[in-house]
Structure 1
Amino acid sequence: MTDIKFAWSELGGDPALLAHVSTVVREGALPSRLPVRQLASACVGVCALAAAELGARRAGLPEPPQVRVDDGAVAAAFVSERQTLVDDRAPVLFAPLSRFWRTADGWVRTHANYPHHRERLLCALGLPADADGVDSLPAAVEAVLAGRGAQDVEDAVQAAGGLAVAVRTPRQWAAHEQAAAIAGRPLVERGRLDGARARAFAPVDGGPLLPAAGVRVLDLTRVLAGPVATRTLALLGADVLRVDAPGLPELPDQHADTGFGKRSALLDLAADRRAFEDLLATADVVVTGYRPGALDRFGLSPEALAERRPGVVVAQVSAWGAYGPWGDRRGFDSLVQAATGIAAVEGSAEQPGALPAQALDHGSGYLLAAGVLRALTDRSADGGSRLVRLALARTAAWLTEDARTGAPGGPEHDVRRTGDGGVDLSPWLARADSPLGRLRYALPPVRFDGGPTDWARPPGRWGADPARWL
């Protein structure tokens, strides 16, 4: 079951601390066939509890402050990318070629939000990357895919460096080699990289209680799960510096949603190596969200980072995991939903469906932040560089456990959607001025007594900050 007790145990937390968590249940939140509301509540709950635990240690409190998880706040945060408006303009979430397509024998899901992924997809399908007519291009793609098998499309697009997966049922995915590799892994992989001495943090006092105050976080993430994690660490007081390569474009609406509390710099890791090493020399946490192994050539494997910065916490999130036959594949939440059977469960016989939120991204993001906070707590007592690693596909396995096993009460036995009434999210939305314009955004759901209720700063312009610590 997708409950907070299981998630907290996977983080190595003291079970006695769960008594400090209370939940406001709103049955209409995040309507779905799968237990999305429960997963979302559990992920946010353990993140808030890990923050309260570290905050209590740093503030010298005898026990952690009380944590309150409200399903309404969680639901708003899990669809934050939809709720974030810049000058009241609706965000652009998916490009025209990022969608489900019918094939000769089933369905595939593609992802082409970024220009380079769009070009690779079109190349794999034998279509010109500079095809004229935005309206006619989807029709051309549709015609090509209708004549090919789903597995053939998945293989061809993957070989071209693009992104497409065949839509599978939960049982079909369970028979896949990558699913078998994932099944043997914990929800949150945690490890110790060396025997570095314990590094005590300076005490914190005053209000609000900021458990991550003074913690320097190098944010090498993209898209959603990693940025959600680092956005959460920024809420809790960390100095978060997101670093992007100058040649990789970022989607402006995505940056507006996940840039709260952070600074954003551009840095070529090959040409500006000294600047990066200067940042690493005093970093406490390095968070990466690229395809497994993609950053290793820059000396950014966990082991290499720990060697140069003993005591560092390295946190990694990927789509499919850093293991198995898909261990080096690119991926996104929508693709993981399609491959792991979620789209089949949430859809119908006529059309695959989707979760009410990119819950794998958001859930994994809060779990990753929780893992970092717990690693900081453990490091302050026992020392050691620490590794925290998550995969969206492993989070999906947690969400779909009943569907894969056919357990009574699971989605294959009861296809009624839960929470069809919906929840008014307006109490958990706020407005603020920013360098990007007037923002409407979802408030953070991570709450504990005496803790922060909003970010200290709105998002700035992408890449506009210097690559140095405050």
Structure 2
Amino acid sequence: MTDTADHTASSRDAGARLLARVWSEIGGDPDRLVGVAPPPVAPPLPSRLATGSLAWAGVAAATLAAGRDARRLDPDRIALAYRSDRVLTVDGSTPPVWSPLSGFWRTVDGWIRTHGNYPHHAAALCAGLALDPSADAEVVRSVLQDLHTDDAVAAISATGGLAVPVRREDRVVDAALRRTPVVAVERIDVDAEPRAIARSDDDLPLRGIRILDLTRVIAGPVATRTLALFGADVLRLDPPGLPEPEWQHLDTGHGKRSALLDARSDRMHDLLADADVVVLGYRPAAIQRLGLAPDALARRHPGIIVAQLSAWGTDDPHRAGFDSLVQAESGIALAESSDGSTPAALPAQALDHTAGYLLAAAIASALDHRRTRGGSWVVRTSLRRAAAELLGMPRRRMPAAETRVDATPHVAGFRVGGSDIVTARPAIPGFEFRPPRPWASDQPRW
């Protein structure tokens, strides 16, 4: 562990190395890295782990992929973009972000972390604990404190709820993960011809690109929001009957259209036939069941780019997960603990946001590869892989003090569906967001 000046220097070096590695993995032009270095002060995301440096590297990769100058990145703007849920307001009010049933809970022999932000996950959690669906946090707490960790996780998981044990980091596992790509880019079809991107006069590098967004929550929507920022036509598709929390859509829906469609419908492949990119946020096992596996898509739609995002990676294809759960099980929550035993969270959903920016950078790079070399391409990353990267970066003995950032120059206002919303502005210089559209207000067509 390091502190103050030593930590700042080593953290900056780690951020620079991460950016260089990612840029090489996605096949970026090395000349674009010349002169790019982390700022003297990292984005103010106070934590023991190098969250600010991780955030800078993620945003810098997406900035370079858009052909913009990463030396212009503003650390305060990055920090607010990563904590965008804290600056979001709807008609002047800050929406509740966390369900009462999402959080850390003490058990007989440790802690677990649950996620109940979606109503169906909260109901499944209660069912696993044999509680009434209307049970409040105090009732859940009283039940969990009498259960062992493994028993509590097994009971909740058996009914489709989401819970993980809070574990200490496993340095051997993390080191092995760090030997794999942070974000993998692979050519999967050699026969597809090169396909040019129609350039426009408005300096938007992805104008004319069509992207199907089959993601939810934060990481995938951050990736596709970034691609929409670059000018792509992004159509987000959600399954009927599974509403997205309004705040979440308003926070990450900028510049996209939003429609409902069952992924198993024939209409899905009609849309895929005219898409350049499909971004998948389903569990890897579900992707196979839905007929959306990258190899199958490349055979049916030559030249398509398939972006695959998951919580735990392809080695754990059946597991669902969220940033908070990956933080807990990977060891981040205890690495951030103030007393070594009570878990704590990062100052932002940093795994989500970083994975989103890295995925956007890899997609933009894959589009460039397709333009010059042809082929279909698959890009992959996971929240767990981002966690391993963060756990391998320098850390402090104590987190830096919270720095108050004036949000005024870093937010924008929009009128959406009859409401006035305020959201964070883009962390990437040279672009401004188009407003989100109301969720599910569009038709599933290009």
| TM-score normalized by the length of structure 2 | 0.91
Matched, 1:347 2:337: yes
User: Is residue 444 of structure 2 the alignment partner of residue 444 of structure 1?
Assistant: no
SS in 1 for 2:285: coil
User: 1:18: which partner in 2?
Assistant: 33
Match of 2:117 in 1: 113
For residues 231-270 of structure 1, give each alpha carbon's deviation from its aligned partner in whole angstroms, at most 9, with x where no partner exists: 0000000000000111212111001111110000011233
User: 1:130 & 1:73 partners in 2: Cα distance?
Assistant: 40
Residue 8 in 1 paired to residue 23 in 2? Answer: yes
Are residue 280 (structure 1) and residue 272 (structure 2) matched?
A: yes
436, 439, 445: which one aligns with 1:462: 439
* CA–CA separation in structure 2 for the residues paired with 1:66 and 1:253: 29
Map of 1:167 onto structure 2 = 166
Is residue 186 of structure 1 aligned with residue 181 of structure 2?
Answer: yes
| Secondary structure at the counterpart of residue 320 of structure 1 | coil
Alpha-carbon shift at residue 333 of structure 1 (Å): 0.3
Query: Does residue 206 of the first structure (1) align with residue 198 of the second (2)?
Result: no
Q: CA deviation at 1:195?
A: 1.0
Q: Which residue of 2 aligns with 1:385?
A: 376
1:24: how far off? 4.4
2:241 alignment partner in structure 1: 247
Partner of 1:368: 359
Is 2:399 aligned against 1:417?
yes
In 1, Cα distance between the equivalents of 2:443 and 2:76? 37
Amino acid in structure 2 at the alignment position of 1:15: P
1:463 is aligned with what amino acid? A
| Residue in 1 that maps onto 2:192 | 197
Contact 1:24 1:71 (8 Å CA) reproduced = yes
Structure 2 letter corresponding to 1:36:
T
The alpha carbon displacement at 1:175 in A equals 5.9
8 Å Cα contact 1:198-1:381 kept in structure 2: no
Residue 394 of structure 1: aligned partner: 385
**Is the Cα–Cα contact under 8 Å of residues 269 and 298 in structure 1 kept in the other structure?**
yes
What do residues 402-432 of structure 1 show as CA deviations (whole Å, max 9, x unaligned)?
Answer: 4xxxxxxx43xx4121354343333211212
The equivalent position to 2:285 in structure 1, one of 293, 307, 318, is: 293
Could you report, residue by residue, the CA deviation over 1:15-38 in whole angstroms, capped at 9, with x for unpaired residues?
Answer: 332016365444461111111111
Aligned residues: percent identity? Answer: 48
Residue aligning to 2:7: none
3-state SS of the aligned residue for 1:206?
Answer: coil
CA contact (8 A) 1:28 1:418 kept: no
Distance change (3 Å), C-alpha of 1:268 and 1:203:
closer
8 Å Cα contact 2:15/2:56 also seen in 1: no
Runs of 4+ in 1 over 6 A off after TM superposition: none
Q: CA deviation at 1:121?
A: 1.0
* Deviating more after overlay: 306-315 vs 8-17: 8-17
2:294 corresponds to? 302
- Flag structure 2 segments of 5+ consecutive residues without an equivalent: 1-13
For residue 330 of structure 1, what is the aligned residue in structure 2?
320
Residues 60, 70 of structure 2: 8 Å contact kept: no
Q: Please give the secondary structure, in 1, of the residue aligned with 2:204.
A: coil
CA RMSD of aligned residues (A): 1.9
Q: Matched residue of 1:204: which SS? A: coil
Residues 1:459 and 1:318: Cα distance change in structure 2 (over 3 Å): same
Q: What letter matches 2:436 in structure 1?
A: P
Aligned residues: 430
Tell me the TM-score normalised to structure 1 length: 0.87
Question: Could you say what secondary structure the match of 1:269 adopts?
Answer: coil
Q: 2:78 aligns with which of 67, 74, 78?
A: 74
Residue 431 of structure 1: aligned partner: 413
- CA separation of 1:308 and 1:78: change in aligned 2, threshold 3 A: same
Which residue identity is paired with 1:154? V
Match of 1:193, SS state, is: strand
Distance 1:419 1:143 in 2: 34
Query: Does the CA-based 8 Å contact 2:175-2:388 persist in structure 1?
Result: no
Distance (whole Å) between structure 2 residues aligned to residue 32 and residue 299 of structure 1: 41
Structure 1 unaligned regions, length at least 5: 53-63, 132-136, 403-409
Kept in 2, the 8 Å contact 1:229–1:368? The answer is: yes
How big is the shift at 1:119?
Answer: 1.6
